[in-house]
Structure 1
Amino acid sequence: MKTQATLLIGAAVLAVTSCDTKNYTEQDRVQATQNLENYVDSVETAVKVVPVHNWSVIDERYDSLDSRAEKVYNDLKVEDDNLEMIEERYETVVKNAKTEAENFERTAEMHMGNVETWWDKTTADVEKGTKNTAEDIEEATQESLDWLEKNFDKLGDETKKKYQEITAELQRD
């Protein structure tokens, strides 16, 4: 009984894998290359708009498209110079984007640090009876608040929360 089940499963796997190997056409190669290139274009555009991304999801999708293209190229026995150029471009885009994201995060932390330092100092004054007002904000702190507001949608969740808490307190005073 076990032997029959094993043979049936083996036959099913063989049937599925034999159906999976297919002869691709030149149109399939062009389409696979275009899909991969379009994806790299979209990643390049996205990283210019928003600096922080989920790279594991992006890499997973790239790997899927790249794998498909490689299958087609191998099946057609075509040189994959196009794929290599696209891969180099993708790696450059990712490397540059990660560097930009690190720079953005450092800048956000610097601005948030400026605001928090000022906030900690001035809230200590509040406890002594001095009221915080928007007019009391130092120029450097105001620049940091302005930068954080301008880049709010690009900030990490923790920085957004801190920024919202401080600005809400400023508006109450």
Structure 2
Amino acid sequence: MKTKATLIIGASALAMFSCDTKNYTEQDRVEVTTNLENYVDSVETAVKIIPVHNWSVIDERYDSLDNRAEKVYEDLKVEDDNLEMIEERYETIVKNAKAESENFERTAEMHMDNVETWWDKTTADIEKGTKNTAEDIEDATQESLDWLEKNFDKLSDETKKEFEEISLKLQKD
């Protein structure tokens, strides 16, 4: 009887471990991989269009998709080479985009500083009685105004506000 009970318990345990039922299917693996790739593609496209982003939100969504994919791959006991390649690509995109964003911000700041310096000088001259017109705008300042106007939608909120204030005052004068 003891042997029979041991065999039954052993068989049950063996059946439990050998039946290791999977929660996910191959279709789930393809789906999570595609979702992750599509997200990385959309991030890559977005950073080409607009240089300034909320990286914590982007990273949070990526991490969520990546964690889900890792669970599926782990459950299916599949090598995650695809995930590693996607992660490397994502990290490269983010690194390059952040560098590009910093460069854009530096450029915007340089142009805004140029315009503000010109504006401060111009308003000081007006207070002395000298009237300046749009024709008096120096080439470098006009180039900065043009650049800021062209890239207005991509500027930070603070820079947009500063540019709008100066543009309105320029139109009044």
Q: Same fold (TM over 0.5)?
A: yes
Amino acid aligned to 2:170:
L
C-alpha contact (below 8 Å) 2:73/2:80 kept by paired residues: yes
Write the distance in 2 (CA, Å) between the matches of 1:129 and 1:162.
25
How many residues were matched structurally?
A: 153
| Cα displacement (A) at 1:95 | 0.1
Amino acid aligned to 1:77:
K
Q: Show the counterpart of 1:161.
A: 161
Equivalent residues in 2 for 1:129-148, closer than 5 Å: 129-148=129-148
Two-structure CA RMSD over aligned residues (Å): 1.0
* Aligned partner of residue 47 in structure 2, secondary structure: helix
Write the distance in 2 (CA, Å) between the matches of 1:163 and 1:22.
58
Q: Which runs of 4+ in 1 moved over 6 A?
A: none
Higher alpha-carbon deviation: 83-92 or 131-140: 131-140
C-alpha contact (below 8 Å) 2:22/2:76 kept by paired residues: no
Write the distance in 2 (CA, Å) between the matches of 1:50 and 1:22.
42
| Cα displacement (A) at 1:47 | 0.1
Amino acid aligned to 2:164:
Q
| Cα displacement (A) at 1:22 | 5.7
C-alpha contact (below 8 Å) 1:36/1:65 kept by paired residues: yes
Structure 2 residue runs of 5 or longer lacking an equivalent are: 1-20
Structure 1 residue runs of 5 or longer lacking an equivalent are: 1-20
| Cα displacement (A) at 1:132 | 2.5
The alignment's TM-score, normalised by the length of structure 2, stands at 0.87
The alignment's TM-score, normalised by the length of structure 1, stands at 0.87
Q: Show the counterpart of 1:25.
A: 25
Q: Show the counterpart of 1:8.
A: none
C-alpha contact (below 8 Å) 1:132/1:170 kept by paired residues: no
1:96 pairs with 2:100: no
Q: Deviations over 1:11-52 (max 9, x none)?
A: xxxxxxxxxx96100000000000000000000000000000
Q: Percent identity?
A: 86
